[in-house]
Amino acid sequence: MRALVLRRFGGEPDLETMADPEAGPGEVVVDVAACGVGLTTRNCLRGDLGDDPGLLPVVPGHELVGVVSAVGPGVDGDLVGQTVTAHFYLFCGRCRRCLTAQEPLCPHGLGLIGVQRDGGLAERVALPARNLVRLPAGLDPVDATVVPDAVATPVHVAARAGITTGDRVAVVGAGGGVGAHMVQVAAAHGAAVAGLDVDPSKLAFLADELGVAAVDAARLEGAALPAAWGGMADVVVDFVGTPSSAGWALDHLDAGGRLVVLTTFPGVAAAVAQRQLVFGQLSVLGSRYASRAELEAAADLVVSGRVRPVIGERTGLDGAPRLLERLGRNEVLGRGAVVVAPAGTGA
């Protein structure tokens, strides 16, 4: 089969031919139709989520969609022919965290798809059956690549922050792969939404296509929220993850406000004044990926039309290295998608 193979953290993957995977005990083989790519994929390539040279070579890509073609010992044969996506984290499925829909917090986790084991930027991939999430009928496989991360992550953010009708939600980095779906998930929860970005074309898309208040953040210190909000928000979701973005967020939270942070860049820290937290009764919340149940909820949002997949660029496996480079330069609106099989496969 053809696959993108990473042989050096900090480098770029190359298209190679490698042996087809086989399904071991408790595993399945998925024929990949498409795989989403975003900045998390770039983080994996850099080694930010695991940089042990013993992990290499590895096939990156965790936002895969495809059809189960084979099952290993101990796996229900009825899975063959099912269209599925996969949960990013390799979890045990048996502990208290896993049994209470907190799979990313599994203390026995074995890592991440596309880091500790081969991912979906290949024609086929072998995965633990427990990682699979079945997708609703009628969902285009390329559109569905936004489900397992770009939409599921905002679904979890909305739960962490308690986003509800009437909340004012500001999204920093709203034109990115997760941000463009976060604004939609917040709106689906009844919130008023503002999206901050630095790219004029992305700001125009947010306003004209997604119907949210677009805020130019080229000079973040001067970025102003809608006047009707009194210039303040109830929730700020920060996808940029710099000390400046965290400082701006805290300064623009109204009383009882919640800041949600998601980035995991090594060595980056922001100062937080306890006095500010106490007087404003503010909350700073970390949000770590999503549960399998939240992946299912994300799929429902997409198939119902309440969340529109924002895929700024599509390519085949041979064009994936260039797409990854463009993502690193912030040149792609929303998510990227690598189409491995013809559109419609497995739908």
Q: Which domains does the chain have, with CATH numbers?
A: 2-134+310-339 (3.90.180.10), 151-286 (3.40.50.720)
Q: What residues contact 207, with CB distance under 8 A and at least 6 apart? A: 213, 214
Q: What is the pLDDT of residue 109?
A: 83
Position 199 pLDDT exceeds 50 = yes
Q: Which of 123, 153, 138 is nearest to 61 (CA)?
A: 123
The letter for the amino acid at 340 is: V
pLDDT single digits (tens) 205-233: 999 999 999 999 999 999 999 999 999 99
Cα distances (angstroms) measured from residue 104 to each of 96, 129, 239: 12, 16, 19
pLDDT single digits (tens) 138-173: 899 999 999 999 999 999 999 999 999 999 999 999
End-to-end CA distance of the chain: 22
Position 346 pLDDT exceeds 50 = no
The mean predicted confidence, pLDDT, of the chain is 95
Q: Is the pTM of this model over 0.75?
A: yes
